[in-house]
Structure 1
Amino acid sequence: MEGAIVVLVVIVVLLVVLAIVGALLFGGLRTSLMFTVHTQEAVIVERFGRFKRVAHAGLNFKTPFIDSTTRPVSLRVQQLEVNIESKTKDNVFVTVPVAVQYRIREEQVVDAYYKLSNPEAQIRSYVFDTVRSALSSLELDQAFESKDDIARSVETTLSTRMEEFGFNIINTLVQDISPDQRVRDSMNSINAAQRDRVAAQSLAEADKIKRVTQAEAEAESKRLQGEGVAGQRKAIALGIAEQYEMLRKVGIENSAEQLLLMTQYFDTMQDVARNGRSNVLYLPSNPGAVGGMGEEIRTAMLQSQAAAEASQDADAADARNARRPSAGRARQEAEQQARAAQQQAQDQVPDGYPGDDAPPWAHPGSAHQG
């Protein structure tokens, strides 16, 4: 009888133990006895509300009904985006989106959890304060140029302030500086006007270079043209001098100038006919007019020769009458003789073309026959 009672007691104890174990493993006691922590997370264990320890990744145990756990604290890199509206030094309101990347240090999880009630709000406050302080001393154009400097200033300030709370500021990014739409339109208009001005200056400079180059080329062309004309005139003068000497050698000495002038006249007429812009050249068409031209040429030669002879006679008379008081009268007589010789030379010209086929100036001795 006593053995049966002992067996019954043992069975009851076993059932109670099994019930307790089952309740711990499959009931609510399991969650109060053990818990798991994920990678890159940390859980704080508290005993009656007081910090006990930090549970890291893996399976962890706690005392049931005595210990409690907090929400998991993430150890991953997190990003907080803050949109800040502020005013620049030149009174332009801008919106600055700032992205702050941070993480909680594993060895300072307790500080990050207990010292700050709302870490994100604290970070926003520091970002607002730093960005507004930086923008208030910069004009709009300088703010665009100093975007990286503002980001570094925010990162430095946050790193210093949040380090004691267990937060590590990894990076701070100022994504953009966005003024009002009207301000952006005005800036675009200013930039467009500046670019138009630069383009106009470039075009003007190019036109100036082109005009200067053309002027230099034209000046060089005219210089070379002048040298060519000067060389041509020099060659013509030398040729005339040579012709004059040749005429003197053949006996046409006194009428050589008129002959050369007429030669140049005919050369000029030929050049006008060849190179002139007009297609029409008016010349005498009847034989009498052509003969008149030859008569004029011959008359001019005879007049020149007669005048030269009269001048020579007058010089001789002056020399003979140098001692006489009537030297002026001799000069007048010599001039009368010269006019008479000129008239005689004109009388020798026939009404038509000159007597033979050869021109009068081809006979050097004909002038002395009068």
Structure 2
Amino acid sequence: MQNVALILLVVAVILVFMSIRVVPQQSALIVERLGRFRAVLEPGLNVVLPMIDRVAYKHSLKEIPLDVPSQICITKDNTQLQVDGILYFQVTDPKLASYGTSDYILAITQLAQTTLRSVVGKMELDKTFEERDEINHTVVMALDEAAVNWGVKVLRYEIKDLTPPKDILHAMQAQITAEREKRALIAASEGRKQEQVNIATGEREAAIQRSEGDMQAAINQSEGEKQAAINKAQGESEAIRLVARATAEAIHMVAQTIKQPGGLEAVNLKVAEQYVEAFAKLAKTGNTLIVPSNLSDVSSLVSSAMQVVKNSGTSSQG
């Protein structure tokens, strides 16, 4: 009896351990009961019925990178192109991933290859290198639409390498070299053109500066000459004014002197002296002798002058 009890205890312990299932984080277990889907075991501790329930499928819910085998694609211009890519996906529905397809990884891989061939076949060779992002986006959209029934979410697709045939690759390299040489020549010509433009611009600006300097100098010179003329005119005007003032003062003094006793006689004497002196200078010019038409005027003038002298002398003696 003790042996039977011990056997039953061992069996019970084994059944307890078989009924306990611990699911890791980011994992899912598909449990079938008698061959029929029963439940999806979530991460943590789960209880199942031993011998009745069984774990049919195990899935990782992490993001999975899938290397898509390289393949030969034909471009629109009939050029062979070897394409190699990598696909990133994630299981979002463990039940559909188990029962929606027999092998979702194989399905995704095959669909990625066929979609890639279709997309590349619509492009020319040069465009395939320029439109990588468009190719990746198109492949992801096509895969994601189909993978909904497989319980899989396609996150992204990246082309790792595009390899054309060797002869095409050599031709492309030669084309790139020629294009670079062309750009170098264009850049050099543009540099020379810009240099000539800069030189012409500098000369034009220098000529403008010189002309502006000459114009300013002429303006300054004109202003100087104008100011000098003004100063000269003002000086001459001041001189005339001073001479006129001096003349007026002299005339005034003469007039005042004439009013004094003996002033008129002195003036007559001075006039007579100047008349005689002037006549002496004009009497003879070169070899010509000038004789006045009325000598009596001279005699009378001299007599008047002598009379003034006599009167002056008498007045002084008295």
Provide the residue aligned with 2:153 in structure 1: 168
Structure 2: how far apart are the matches of 1:206 and 1:30? 86
Q: 2:166 aligns with which of 164, 178, 181?
A: 181
What amino acid does structure 2 have at the position aligned with 1:19?
I
- State yes or no: 1:127 paired with 2:112: yes
- Give per-residue Cα distances to partners, 1:289-330, cap 9 Å, x unaligned: xxxxxxxxxxxxxxxxxxxxxxxxxxxxxxxxxxxxxxxxxx
The match for 2:245 is: none
Give the secondary-structure state (helix, strand or coil) at the position aligned to 2:86: strand
Q: Is the 8 A contact 1:38 1:58 kept in 2?
A: yes
What is aligned with 1:88?
A: 75
Alignment of 1:151-162 (within 5 A): 151-162=136-147
Q: 1:62 to 1:205 in 2, by over 3 A?
A: closer
| Residue 103 (1) aligns with residue 93 (2) | no
Instruction: Please point out which of 112, 123, 126 is paired with 2:97.
Output: 112
* Inter-CA distance 18–56: structure 2 relative to 1 (3 Å threshold): farther
One-letter amino acid of the structure 2 residue matched with residue 145 of structure 1: E
Distance 2:190 2:28 in 1: 71
Distance 1:208 1:33 in 2: 87
For 2:155 and 2:7, the matched residues in 1 are separated by: 52
**Contact 1:37 1:57 (8 Å CA) reproduced:** yes
Give the residue type in structure 2 aligned to 1:23. V
Question: What is the RMSD of the two structures over their aligned residues, measured on CA atoms?
Answer: 2.7
Specify the alignment match of 2:61 in structure 1.
Answer: 75
In the alignment, which residue of structure 2 is the partner of 1:21?
9
Rounded to whole Å, the distance in 2 between the matches of 1:64 and 1:158 is 39
Q: Which has the larger radius of gyration?
A: 2
How far 1:205 moved relative to its partner?
5.1
Structure 2 matches for 1:1-370, cutoff 5 A?
12=1, 16-25=4-13, 27=14, 29-30=15-16, 32-82=18-68, 83-105=70-92, 108-204=93-189, 206=191
Deviation at 1:130, TM superposition (A): 1.5
What is the letter of the counterpart of residue 111 of structure 1?
L
Distance 1:192 1:30 in 2: 74
Q: Which amino acid aligns with 1:125?
A: Q
> Structure 1: how far apart are the matches of 2:95 and 2:196?
81
Measure, in 2, the Cα distance between the counterparts of 1:40 and 1:150.
31
Could you say what secondary structure the match of 2:127 adopts?
A: helix
Say if 1:24 and 1:33, in contact at 8 Å, map to a contact too: no
Match of 2:161, SS state, is coil
Shift of 1:52: 1.6
In structure 1, the partner of 2:250 is none
Mark the CA change 1:202 to 1:123 in structure 2 (over 3 Å): closer, same or farther.
Answer: same
Q: Which consecutive unaligned segments of at least 5 residues does structure 2 have?
A: 204-318
TM-fit CA distance, 1:151:
0.5
Do the aligned partners of residues 210 and 162 (structure 1) sit closer, same or farther apart at CA in structure 2, a change above 3 Å counting? closer
Off by >6 Å, runs of 4+ in structure 1: 208-214
More RCO (CA 8 Å, sep 6+): 2
Name stretches of at least 5 consecutive residues in structure 1 with no aligned partner.
1-11, 218-370
Distance in 2, matches of 1:46 and 1:30, equals 18
2:31–2:41 contact (8 Å) kept in structure 1? yes
* Secondary structure of residue in 2 paired with 1:65: coil
Q: Structure 1 or 2: larger strand share? A: 2
Counterpart Cα distance in 1 of 2:180 and 2:154: 42
Q: How many residues align?
A: 202
Q: So what's the TM-score if we normalise by structure 2?
A: 0.57
